[in-house]
A = this chain, B = another copy of it.
Amino acid sequence: MKRRSTRYLCAAALVLAAWTAIPPHAFAQAASPIDESLNLAWVLIAGFLVMFMQAGFAMVETGFTRSKNAVNTMAMNLVIYPIGIIGFWLTGYAFMMGGVRAWPALGAAQIGHTELSLSVGGHSWGFLGASKFALASVSHDPASLAMFLFTLVFMDTAATIPTGAMAERWKFSAFFIYGLFMSMFLYPLYGNWVWGGGWLSQMGVNLGLGHGHVDFAGSSVVHMTGGVTALAGVIVLGPRIGKFRRDGAIGALPGHNLPMAVIGTLILAFGWFGFNAGSTLAASDARIGVIAANTMLSSAAGALTALLYLWQRFKKPDIAMTCNGLLGGLVAITAPCAFVTPAAAVLIGIVSGFVVVSVVIGLERIFRIDDPVGAIAVHGGCGLWGALALGIFADGSYGEGWNGVAGPVRGLIAGDGLQFCAQLIGVAVNLVVIFGLAWIFFTIIERTIGNRVLAEVEWSGLDSLEMGSDAYPNV
């Protein structure tokens, strides 16, 4: 077995080495125009901040799970990052962004372009991009590589979300395969439809529905995709042992390190500024000031709503839920952040706080679904709410020409009901397609290698039996 895998690795190495010898074509290192330089730096710095959210997710999820599973939860959050990089490099970026010709604000010179169209209408109905596999055709184009980095870290955010909801019982090998599926195919599919020039983005041009489905920084593309995938995974995987007892009681199974979860939440809030403000893809777009302030206001409103609502209800401030309320506010403002006023951002955050609390309680008590960290509520619930909120509150002050449609983006209040329809269709398609494909994927895994560790592994903790090392061996 060892010799065989070594042989595979050598073969892969040879292929890679061959690539490196491709003669570089036309590398005039002409000085870029200064605004392109500024925008390229902006996209990269924003991408770095989003990458750092990996540490935030790792801390939130591990803090909310038990110490006997701390290595496993950390490991999933760590390993999804390299899996995602390699998977997205191989096919994900090509499927998602292969149909995008260039990034003019970043000074891109696109090299090579093919569009795989499965639909009748040509480009605008393309179902998947099909160029730039393994970045081979754009290996020296700074703008394309910066966009690879930037879109990748968004994908990794989506891919990390299910590791929280499915924590404490997921087989590491099944998780590993999931990571490849998510980064190579599932995320890029919906991502292409909204951000890669695909059909959801073209509903404005083609069907007259406002500007098509608009999602500024990923309430639906990133967070709903992650949350809906998590929901499918959790349904197939089932609850943790001890969560739902035979007598109907619900076990608490508290996490092992609340301070860790709080710090993770603050790291996420920090990185989120890159997530949202970076999504202009340009610091030369002064809207970044509005976006950053809105992001912060919505997070605050979400946090305080969850805190005050539960405080007056249960007489104690619930800090775990305050964290989730803050994150819910961030998730919800992600789609509309560039299109709404600060006051609307506060309102969107307030609603998010209620959404998080209700969905957490509803999933657990009504649907008896076990999500240890509240990921489905935060990312799925508030992601859905955020995409709709854009269709309600977009005030017509931004988005001129978005998705090829003249005029700014307006929601219901500003008089464009069709934009709201486009938002509704976008989230409905996410719910149906992402849930469906994820459920099929998890079911196939279930029938083959299985998704879940053995009961004795779950009892002892995944760290000792699945991972082979304890989190805190000699404290």
Q: Name A's B-contacting residues (CB within 8 A).
A: 1-2, 5, 9, 12-13, 16-17, 19-22, 24, 27, 29, 31-32, 34-38, 40-42, 44-45, 47-49, 51-52, 54-55, 58-59, 62, 66-67, 70-71, 74-75, 77-79, 81-86, 89, 106-107, 134-136, 139-146, 148-149, 152, 172, 254-260, 262-263, 265-267, 269-270, 273-274, 277, 283-290, 292-294, 296-297, 299-301, 303-305, 307-309, 312-314, 316-320, 322-323, 326, 340-344, 346-347, 350-351, 393, 395-398, 400, 408, 413-414, 466-475
What are 17 A-B interface contacts by the 8 Å CB criterion? Answer: A1-B312, A5-B308, A13-B350, A19-B343, A20-B347, A27-B397, A29-B287, A32-B284, A44-B289, A45-B45, A52-B267, A54-B266, A74-B263, A75-B317, A145-B290, A254-B469, A258-B470
The CA-CA distance from A475 to B106 in the complex, in Å, is 49
Instruction: Please give me the 6 A-B residue pairs with the lowest Cβ-Cβ distance, nearest first.
Output: A142-B289, A316-B468, A82-B300, A85-B300, A19-B343, A146-B289
Instruction: Report A137 CB to chain B, min CB distance, Å.
Output: 11
* Complex Cα–Cα for A263 and B61 (A): 12
Q: Which of B21, B42, B74 contacts A262 (CB 8 A)?
A: B74
Contact B58–A263 (Cβ < 8 Å)? yes
A75 touches B322 (CB 8 A): yes
Is A37 within 8 A of B316, CB to CB?
Answer: no
Given contacts A9-B350, A55-B267, A347-B16, contact A475 B472 (CB under 8 A): yes
Q: Is the CB of B343 within 8 A of A20?
A: yes
A86 to chain B, nearest CB (A): 5
CA distance A309 to B12 in the complex (A): 14
Shortest beta-carbon distance from A245 to chain B in Å: 18
Q: Is the CB of B296 within 8 A of A413?
A: no
